[in-house]
Structure 1
């Protein structure tokens, strides 16, 4: 079995590559520089360049490439980069796979629970419509729409709507740790907003489950079954680190001043997202509770 992975140097991609190779799967990393071996293949999503012979010889493409959502302050230029990096890459792959049609591998295309916008305390699953805001309407919706040519050609397409991934190697959690280890962790904004999280191990485990189950297609939420409020997340992270947390919350206005637009759509809104498709398909999560997940990744 051969699996192609884009974005293989990122937090999710690198974890997935390690796990697949440990399973004995041949992994080809799609890179934007000259390949350094048979396990790499060049592509240029901006120019629509991809090695179709490599695609023909694989069972699936896991497409994870894209500029980091929370890596930088959202200037107008960076917002355009967030959109372009996702749309162009997905267009390139979906178009190439559509041309292969019946010989095409499956496409597991990265996506995000930003699709749902602010759901407040309302629980949603894959049947919910898109929400409002930059992430929902300008990033995730057009990002997912670019998979349409492959889907219309009969290619199995899965849209991986990923939540907050917990890892000790990167992501939002690692950015939070220095403050919490000083005993200065505190709820953000009201603290009542739901955070839908998943451990890095469970994210990889879920993608492997999807790869093994050819009947799964369409949107799939990659989140743990028990979302928590930000206040609960704060208390649990402090408990796992054995550090006190602050009783007073960080005001939303201060977060918006420090973080810009990402604060309003990535930190302060509530997203109570459930992994209904995975649960209905019999998938078992290793870390159902936040405390167990934090202890495992830290």
Structure 2
């Protein structure tokens, strides 16, 4: 295996905190970008909002994995929070892409965060799963993701291999949507959201990290990549699988109106969005999922902490 110097943003997040030790285990040298004052020699300070990032600090970088951004479902969507969601993604991506484009030589790869929100709130469904060739959908998230991916253009124009990581719902007991649901389901208070018929395109955190490692190494892959498992499920099926894995009932149902009252616009564009997607690029690249189906994934997550 060829070892690289890899720069990671969002290293303290759900995915980043699993990715960094995996990259160290592969023998790579990992440097993280942080907004606070650096505490170790392996950290570089940057300020995306102010457009501050020293190009000299990135000299010799072989690849960048950009995962930073405010959590889509962390808070109720207000106008201010929607502005933060956009700014925290687009400003950081633009700053990184423009900075990397000035380096000589430039990095070989820029893996830039993205999301399945690209496809809108009603993607796939009975017509079958959509692959990476599907056009952008409508709505706030779709527009955000379209602009987010476009912000990586300076790196692409500089000849850097750019991969946009269209990430589905990442399953881990350490956080994310599953981490928020587990306490309720363990109490037997879990249930479907809305009708439960909406499709969920998910991926285990273990497979997400493994996919990033493949995308760093495989220089034949560029452009959008759906980071989702090959077997999406409906919300009702996910609810039943999680309840079964925990040996708990899940008879509750949260009505659409209640979700809208609690979550605002995020209810329709997040938890009630229906997205049935396929990992076509990963499959073509030979990626083998450790957790291809929801039952296998939940068993591993709940027993091994995957």
Q: TM-score scaled by structure 2?
A: 0.94
Aligned to 1:47: 50
Task: Say whether 1:177 aligns with 2:182.
Answer: yes
Higher deviation after alignment, 75-84 or 148-157: 148-157
- The alpha-carbon deviation at position 102 of structure 1 amounts to 4.5
Q: Secondary structure at the match of 1:103?
A: coil
Give the whole-Å Cα distance in 2 for the aligned partners of 1:61 and 1:54.
Answer: 13
- The alpha-carbon deviation at position 56 of structure 1 amounts to 2.3
5+ residue gaps, structure 2: none
Give the whole-Å Cα distance in 2 for the aligned partners of 1:141 and 1:41.
Answer: 28
Task: Say whether 1:128 aligns with 2:134.
Answer: yes
- The alpha-carbon deviation at position 120 of structure 1 amounts to 5.1
Q: Deviations over 1:209-251 (max 9, x none)?
A: 00010111100010000000000000000000010110x5321
Q: Which consecutive segments of 4 or more residues in structure 1 shift more than 3 A? A: none
Aligned to 1:293: 297
- The alpha-carbon deviation at position 187 of structure 1 amounts to 1.2
Higher deviation after alignment, 145-154 or 230-239: 145-154
Give the whole-Å Cα distance in 2 for the aligned partners of 1:28 and 1:66.
Answer: 18
Aligned to 1:76: 79
Higher deviation after alignment, 277-286 or 113-122: 113-122
Aligned to 2:25: 22
- The alpha-carbon deviation at position 101 of structure 1 amounts to 6.1
1:205-284 counterparts in 2 under 5 A?
205-246=210-251, 249-284=253-288
Of 35, 41, 59, the residue aligned with 1:32 is: 35
Q: TM-score scaled by structure 1?
A: 0.97
Tell me, yes or no, if the aligned pair for 2:10 and 2:69 is still in contact at 8 Å: yes
Task: Say whether 1:197 aligns with 2:184.
Answer: no
Q: Secondary structure at the match of 2:102?
A: helix
Tell me, yes or no, if the aligned pair for 1:101 and 1:154 is still in contact at 8 Å: no
- The alpha-carbon deviation at position 54 of structure 1 amounts to 3.2
Of 156, 163, 167, the residue aligned with 1:162 is: 167
Give the whole-Å Cα distance in 1 for the aligned partners of 2:238 and 2:200.
Answer: 8
Tell me, yes or no, if the aligned pair for 1:236 and 1:290 is still in contact at 8 Å: yes
Go from structure 1 to structure 2 and tell me whether the alpha carbon gap of 1:71 and 1:213 turns closer, same or farther (over 3 Å shift): same
Tell me, yes or no, if the aligned pair for 2:93 and 2:151 is still in contact at 8 Å: yes
Q: Secondary structure at the match of 2:196?
A: coil
Aligned to 2:97: 94
Number of equivalent positions: 296
Q: Deviations over 1:114-151 (max 9, x none)?
A: 000121514111000000111001x1011111001111
5+ residue gaps, structure 1: none
Aligned to 1:11: 14
Tell me, yes or no, if the aligned pair for 1:56 and 1:105 is still in contact at 8 Å: no
